[in-house]
């Protein structure tokens, strides 16, 4: 094939794994042959609507086979895939459509109202609307100028496989960062970035064709897509797609499908072990749990260890596609709190503010290099220039250190660091200590202005259902565990935390409401 990018994967899998189940979505079961055939039809449908190599195609919808088909169809055409966050408002979506210059939008029928508003004043000329599961024929989809039914477009298109010339250096996907400060930036991932990240994941997680992955996080999030779905399909394994997270249903699906692999964030894993059916659910098939975003509370680790299940901690970001480091289960006790070793084809170093390489145990900025690291942001040359050191090392903006054996320990986001009376306070350290309290559901520590010290820490806390905790009890718990200047001077108890689609706490929102 002339196509050496991700678009060729389903062609190759059709030959190697044709009848094997690739996707399960509700009652729908799709083999690799069926997935490859539908992808061929969709690629021709895109081409018939004027999509060419280098054009952008956006997708707005929950986890669904159409997401996977659109991703691989873009790869066949040589188009650039732009997954959109379903939690964004119309103006936010409109910005990403305008910024990417997307020509065609595939969207779920349930999101038609926001999609219609979002495409206004953009370059989008065609929309393909995916019918809902309870309306598979798409009868409720309103066909109008520039809007067609996704299923009809596939059925009417030619199924002849395309073989566009695509190299690993060609652009494959634009993923927009969460945009916690200013407008979000589009990280431009090449076919090589995605491929090497998947190889890293397959190698370091020991994935095999008999694995079954349950996708409980949205695929528009880079970790779910590039660490969950794509490595599994590259390996010829089976993926179960869930549109929404429900702890009880997840436990039932793990038992029914003998799921081996789950990836998520601490919140989702906490909700699973807090569910009433946790102790009776058959979880014997689970052997690969990966968690990123933040540290897993010790009580959650203990709950899984009691069931004979270990965690693989991960660290990375959109710009590293996203894997940078991974902590193997075997090292989870000896290296507790570590984000692990660099992935097989990835390098990590720690640098001081002047660019000097720091030694073991010294805290500085984490920088990452490797074939999985992006080379640029979409149409943002200044941001690109500011984000790299020595041309090939990506500046993460995170603080951390490497121990003598090369294990990474992440201190905190550089921008989240609190400077109190000249002392540096890393919120992650304080949050980890507070999370030890059984009553704590989630916690975030932010800096607030103080006349005497400049800044002091404040803890924002949610409690587990039925639990009680006072500010005095929380501070007493920290006394002796942390230096006095690190102990929050105030505590705010809230009903829930503002979160990104990936489950991370949005500290920008917390600062907006609680930093005074």
Task: Give tens-digit pLDDT for 404-440.
Answer: 999 999 887 767 878 787 676 878 889 988 999 999 9
pLDDT for 422 equals 66
pLDDT tens, position by position, 458-515: 999 999 999 999 999 999 999 988 878 889 999 999 999 998 777 788 888 999 999 8
What kind and span of H or E run contains 396?
strand 393-402
Element (H, E) at 417: none
Give how far Cα 93 sits from Cα of 90, 120, 129, 137, 389, Å: 5, 10, 16, 27, 31
Q: Percent of the chain, pLDDT > 90?
A: 75
For residue range 174-185, list pLDDT tens digits in order.
999 854 445 789
Confidence band for 295, pLDDT divided at 50, 70 and 90: low
Least confident range of 225-239, 310-324, 337-351, 443-457: 443-457
Task: Give the span between the Cα atoms of 466 and 299, in whole angstroms.
Answer: 17
Backbone angles phi, psi at 417, to 5 degrees: -60, 135
Count H helices, E strands: the chain?
16, 26
> Residue 165: is its pLDDT beyond 50?
yes
What is the predicted pLDDT for the residue at 453?
81
6-166 and 191-413 agree in CATH topology: yes
The residue-averaged pLDDT of 36-62 equals: 98
Q: Tell me which residue of 327, 470, 322 sits closest to 398, measured CA to CA.
A: 322
What would the mean pLDDT of 178-199 be, rounded to a whole number?
Answer: 85
The answer to whether the CB of 62 falls within 8 A of the CB of 107 is no
Q: What confidence tens digit (pLDDT) does each residue in 453-467 have? A: 878 999 999 999 999
- Write out the two tokens for 250: 């997840």
Reply yes or no on whether the pLDDT at 350 is more than 60: yes
Span 417-514: which CATH code? 3.30.300.30
* Mean pLDDT confidence for 11-26: 97
Architecture of domain 191-413: 3-Layer(aba) Sandwich (3.40)
- 160: closest CA among 21, 25, 11? 11
Each domain of the chain, given as residue ranges in start order, spans 6-166, 191-413, 417-514
Q: Could you tell me which of 240, 226, 241 has the C-alpha nearest to residue 62? A: 241
SS3 261: strand
| Tens digit of each residue's pLDDT (9 = 90 or more) over 206-263 | 999 999 999 999 999 899 999 999 999 999 999 999 999 999 999 999 999 999 999 9
Please provide the average confidence, as pLDDT, over all residues in the chain: 93
- 297 DSSP 8-state letter: P
Of the given ranges (92-106, 172-186, 302-316, 380-394), which has the lowest mean pLDDT? 172-186
- Name the fold adopted by 6-166: Rossmann fold (3.40.50)
Instruction: Judge if pTM exceeds 0.75.
Output: yes
Least confident of 4-13, 41-50, 191-200, 294-303: 294-303
């Amino acid at each position: 094939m002339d196509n050496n990018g991700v678009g060729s994967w389903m062609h190759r899998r059709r030959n190697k794994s044709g009848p094997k189940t690739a996707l399960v979505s509700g009652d729908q079961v799709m083999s690799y042959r069926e997935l490859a055939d539908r992808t061929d039809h969709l690629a021709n449908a895109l081409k018939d609507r004027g999509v060419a190599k280098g054009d952008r195609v956006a997708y707005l919808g929950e986890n669904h086979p159409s997401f996977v088909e659109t991703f691989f169809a873009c790869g066949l055409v040589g188009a650039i895939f732009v997954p959109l966050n379903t939690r964004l408002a119309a103006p936010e979506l409109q910005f990403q459509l305008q910024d990417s210059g997307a020509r065609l939008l595939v969207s779920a029928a349930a999101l038609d109202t926001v999609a219609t508003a979002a495409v206004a004043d953009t370059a989008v000329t065609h929309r393909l609307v995916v019918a809902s599961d309870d309306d598979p024929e798409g009868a409720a989809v309103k066909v109008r100028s520039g809007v067609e039914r996704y299923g009809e477009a596939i059925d009417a298109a030619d199924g002849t496989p395309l073989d566009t010339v695509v190299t690993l250096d060609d652009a494959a996907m634009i993923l927009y960062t969460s945009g916690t400060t200013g407008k979000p930036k589009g990280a431009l991932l090449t076919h090589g970035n995605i491929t090497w990240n998947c190889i890293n994941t397959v190698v370091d997680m020991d994935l095999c064709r008999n694995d079954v992955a349950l996708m409980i996080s949205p695929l528009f999030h880079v970790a779910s897509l590039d660490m969950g779905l794509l490595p599994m399909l590259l390996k010829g394994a089976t993926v179960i797609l869930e549109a929404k997270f429900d702890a009880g249903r997840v436990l039932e699906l793990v038992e029914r499908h003998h799921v081996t692999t789950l990836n998520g964030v601490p919140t989702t894993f906490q909700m699973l072990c807090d569910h009433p059916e946790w102790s009776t659910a058959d979880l014997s098939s689970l052997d690969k749990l990966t968690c990123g975003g933040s540290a897993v509370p010790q009580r959650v680790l203990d709950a899984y260890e009691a069931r004979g299940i270990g965690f693989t901690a991960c660290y990375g970001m959109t710009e590293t596609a996203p894997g940078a480091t991974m902590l193997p289960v075997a090292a989870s006790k000896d290296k507790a709190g570590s984000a692990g070793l660099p992935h097989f084809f990835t390098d990590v170093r720690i640098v001081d503010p002047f660019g000097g390489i720091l030694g073991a145990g010294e805290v500085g900025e984490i920088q990452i290099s490797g074939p999985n690291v992006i080379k640029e942001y979409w149409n943002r040359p200044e941001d690109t220039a500011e984000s790299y050191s020595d041309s090939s090392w990506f500046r993460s903006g995170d603080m951390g250190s490497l121990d003598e054996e090369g294990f990474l320990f992440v201190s905190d986001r550089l921008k989240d660091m609190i400077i109190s009376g000249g002392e540096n306070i890393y919120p992650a350290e304080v949050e980890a200590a507070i999370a030890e309290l059984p009553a704590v559901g989630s916690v975030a520590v932010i800096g607030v202005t103080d006349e005497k010290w400049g800044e002091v820490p404040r803890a924002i806390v949610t409690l587990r259902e039925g639990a009680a905790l006072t500010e005095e009890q929380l501070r007493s718990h920290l006394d002796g565990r942390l230096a006095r200047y690190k102990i929050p001077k105030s505590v705010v108890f809230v009903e829930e935390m503002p979160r990104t689609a990936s489950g991370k706490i949005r500290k920008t929102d917390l600062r907006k409401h609680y930093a005074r």
